Amino acid sequence: MDNAIVRATGIHKTYDTGKIQVNALRGVDLSVGRGEMVAIMGPSGCGKTTMLNCLSGLDDVDSGQVIVDGVVLHDLPDDERSDYRARNMGFVFQLYNLLPVLTSVENVEMPLLLSGVGATEARRRSMGMLDRVGLADRASHLPAELSGGQRQRVTIARALVNQPSIIWADEPTGDLDSETTGEIMDLILELNRSNLQSFILVTHSEEVGRMAHRIVRMRDGVIVDDGFPNNPTN
């Protein structure tokens, strides 16, 4: 794939529990194109989340190489890798990971402030992103004052406020009902199309998977299928 923004080669990852060793990833190769939306699917324990964490640099790899937008991720020292993630990646998790004592806009602007953006500019950009996800009128609300779907929209706004080239999402609709899942996926699809950002989604939902450009299926730490859903035009 000539336009790959993510290229992983021969990724191995083993967890040692003290009693047994778990071979979570066993020689994974994967490329993701710029602007592509890829769904990673498979049964529980097959290595989906481990792969996402290794590809994004949240976890180290035992062997192999991950290149993200030309950067050999695991060659970077921990602090440089963390800085690279903050500036170039966004993360969306099932349980939101919003700070409960901060308002919506304060949660969204946190990555900007950590990246050294001034307070005035961070607030302006964060309000603009909340407006983009349809929550400008909830900017001063705490997470506990929002619905599950609204909290996930705040999480998406936070993930996108730095204008990252790639967004990693681990079960982004796993805690939502079917109607709200549809709304969140419509939002993600619209952002993918308009911003040409790459999305890598871990999901158990076949419905969510079919919305991606491509489904990567895993089993027992390896990729067993790397193809397209029935409706790749989405």
Which architecture characterizes domain 4-227 according to CATH? 3-Layer(aba) Sandwich (3.40)
Reported as a single tens digit per residue, the pLDDT across 169-219 is 998 888 778 888 888 888 889 888 888 889 999 999 898 899 999 999 999
Q: Span 17-34, mean pLDDT?
A: 91
Report pTM: 0.86
Cα separation, 184 vs 191, whole angstroms: 11
Reported as a single tens digit per residue, the pLDDT across 49-100 is 999 999 999 999 999 999 999 999 889 998 899 888 888 898 887 665 899 9
Domain residue ranges in the chain = 4-227
Cα separation, 234 vs 188, whole angstroms: 12
The set of residues, in sequence order, having a beta carbon less than 8 Å from that of 183 and lying 6+ positions away, is 149
The pLDDT score that the predictor gives to residue 2 is: 67
Helix (H) or strand (E) holding 24: strand 21-33
The set of residues, in sequence order, having a beta carbon less than 8 Å from that of 116 and lying 6+ positions away, is none
Helix (H/G/I), strand (E/B), else coil: 227: strand
Whether 22 and 15 have beta carbons less than 8 Å apart is answered as yes
Q: In what order do the strands lie in the sheet with 166-170?
A: 89-93, 166-170, 198-202, 37-41, 214-219, 222-227
Q: What is the largest CA-CA distance in the chain?
A: 52
Question: Rg for the chain (alpha carbons), in Å?
Answer: 17
pLDDT band at 231 (very low <50, low <70, confident <90, very high): very low
Q: Which residue has the tokens 């180290």?
A: 60
